[in-house]
């Protein structure tokens, strides 16, 4: 199942309007956002963090051996340390919600969350990272946690002895298929492209297993079931096929969480926020950090560093423009 899908699960939570004006609002709670929070607090900026979850992609990293100060640490442990460090400071945190819109309001910036909270700030650091791409198939959202999974290591064991499908053609799809082949009688591997993108060695191992049913040029149209997934409709060159599966593991890559900034900040063709080496975006006063930006190399240490850099740039901008 993975991390919480706050909005769906928290409809009983009433949205509240926040009318304070912050010096800086940080969007995102991964390595870049948390590091930005600490730097902002240490500059005594009145700060608010808005994040869907704390941890981001770092949570999915099993072992980290290249973050300085730790010979080995798991992703969740590292994030726990980041969070504990952030919690030393009096920073407003709005958690469990995504920002839906970011705009200018007079000389300030206004963020509106999915539950309707409004946050005003003099400057912004966008560090919203990336998320697993969804298929966009009918029924997909409704069956999340009931057969549709975006975290095979979290949910895989619950599908032992059941037919499952893995969607995707890259390394993560093949690694998931390899894990599921150990548990399941049939594993469909469904890729929309006409060839596999995974490393050759992975392809050899997985495709040679007789329990593996490869399906190229095939698109998942619909996921069906009652309280659980029962089948999946796949569009193929030979027409639609309905396959009996109990689990659907989606491994079709990552996309930047930048939809809220479309039309406001300049994005590249992949949807990443374009930043310069000072983390400046196309809008003065809005800075970007980490995987949601065009900064090359998506690494925890780089994201944390970029988060720090973005805040220092924002701080200088606030002073230069006499905002603080």
Partner 1 sequence: MAILDEKVKKQVKEEFKKLKEPVKLIVFSQEVECAYCKETRELLSELAELGELILLEVYDFEKAKEKVERYKIERIPAIVVLAGEEDFGFRYYGVPSGYEFSTLLNVIIMASKRESGLNLKVKEELKKIQNQLELKIFVIPTCPHCPKAAISASRFAFENRNLKVSIIEASEYPYLAQRYGVMGTPKVVINEMMGFEGALPEPLFIQHLLHAQEHLLEKPGMPVGRA
* Residues of the shown chain interacting with partner 1 in the complex, contacts defined by CB under 8 A: 1-6, 9-10, 12-13, 29, 51, 53-55, 59-62, 71-72, 74-77, 79-80, 84, 87, 93, 95-96, 145-147, 149, 151, 153-158, 228
Edge-to-edge strand ranges of the sheet holding 164-167: 148-149, 247-250, 164-167, 187-190, 212-215
Q: Where are the beta strands (DSSP E) in 133-251?
A: 148-149, 164-167, 187-190, 212-215, 219-225, 229-236, 239-244, 247-250
Of residues 23, 84, 155, 240, which has the active-site annotation?
155
Element holding 32 (H helix, E strand): helix 31-42
Q: How far is the CB of 90 from partner 1 (least distance, A)?
A: 9
Both structure tokens of 62? 């099993």
Q: How crowded is the C-beta side of 300, counted as CA atoms within 13 Å?
A: 25
- Using an 8 Å Cβ cutoff, are 303 and 33 in contact? no
Instruction: Determine whether 155 is an active site residue.
Output: yes
Element holding 318 (H helix, E strand): helix 300-320
Both structure tokens of 73? 């640490």
* CB of 123 or CB of 257, closer to partner 1: 257
CB burial of residue 162 (10 Å; 0-12, 13-18, 19+): middle
Both structure tokens of 203? 């392809």
Q: How far is the CB of 154 from partner 1 (least distance, A)?
A: 4
- Using an 8 Å Cβ cutoff, are 189 and 206 in contact? yes
Residue among 22, 217, 220, 205 nearest 124 (CA): 22
* CB of 12 or CB of 195, closer to partner 1: 12
Q: How far is the CB of 311 from partner 1 (least distance, A)?
A: 20
* CB of 152 or CB of 273, closer to partner 1: 152
* CB of 141 or CB of 323, closer to partner 1: 141
- Residue labelled with tokens 């700060």: 47
* CB of 128 or CB of 281, closer to partner 1: 128
CA dihedral 301, 304, 309, 315 (to 10 degrees): -160
The radius of gyration of the chain from alpha carbons, rounded to an integer in Å, stands at 21
Q: How far is the CB of 262 from partner 1 (least distance, A)?
A: 26
Instruction: Determine whether 48 is an active site residue.
Output: no
* CB of 52 or CB of 108, closer to partner 1: 52
- Using an 8 Å Cβ cutoff, are 287 and 8 in contact? no
* CB of 53 or CB of 306, closer to partner 1: 53
Q: How far is the CB of 261 from partner 1 (least distance, A)?
A: 22
Q: Residue 35 and residue 232: Cα distance in Å, rounded?
A: 42
Q: How far is the CB of 122 from partner 1 (least distance, A)?
A: 23
- For 96, other C-beta atoms within 10 Å of its C-beta total 21
Of residues 48, 151, 199, 226, which has the active-site annotation?
151
Of residues 23, 48, 84, 154, which has the active-site annotation?
154
Instruction: Determine whether 84 is an active site residue.
Output: no
Q: How far is the CB of 54 from partner 1 (least distance, A)?
A: 6
Kindly list the catalytic residues: 151, 154-155
């Amino acid at each position: 199942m993975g991390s919480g899908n706050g909005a769906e699960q928290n409809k009983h939570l009433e949205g509240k309007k926040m009318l304070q004006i912050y010096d800086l609002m940080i969007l995102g709670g991964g390595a870049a956002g948390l590091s930005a929070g600490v730097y902002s607090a240490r500059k005594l900026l009145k700060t608010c963090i808005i994040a869907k979850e704390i941890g981001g992609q770092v949570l999915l990293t099993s072992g980290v051996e290249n973050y300085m100060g730790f010979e080995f640490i798991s992703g969740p442990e590292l994030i726990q340390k980041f969070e504990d460090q952030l919690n030393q400071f009096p920073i407003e945190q709005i958690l469990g919600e995504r920002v839906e819109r970011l705009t200018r309001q007079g000389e300030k910036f206004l963020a509106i969350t999915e539950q309707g909270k409004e946050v005003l700030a003099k400057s912004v650091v966008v560090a919203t990272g990336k998320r697993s791409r969804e298929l966009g198939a009918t029924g997909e959202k409704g069956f999340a946690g009931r057969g549709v999974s975006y975290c095979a290591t979290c949910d895989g064991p619950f599908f032992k002895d059941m037919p499952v499908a893995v969607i995707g053609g890259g390394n993560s799809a093949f690694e998931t298929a390899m894990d599921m082949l150990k548990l399941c009688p049939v594993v469909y591997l469904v890729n929309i492209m006409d060839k596999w993108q995974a490393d050759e060695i992975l392809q050899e191992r997985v495709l040679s297993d007789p329990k593996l049913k490869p399906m190229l040029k095939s698109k998942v149209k619909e996921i069906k079931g009652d309280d659980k997934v029962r089948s999946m409709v796949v569009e193929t060159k030979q027409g639609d096929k309905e396959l009996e599966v109990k689990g659907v593991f989606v491994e079709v890559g990552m996309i930047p969480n930048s939809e809220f900034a479309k039309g406001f900040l300049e994005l590249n063709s992949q949807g990443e926020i374009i930043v310069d080496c000072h983390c400046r975006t196309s809008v003065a006063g809005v800075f970007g950090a980490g995987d949601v930006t065009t900064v090359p190399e998506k690494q925890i240490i780089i994201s944390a560093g970029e988060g720090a850099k973005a805040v220092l740039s924002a701080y200088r901008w606030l002073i230069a423009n006499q905002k603080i």
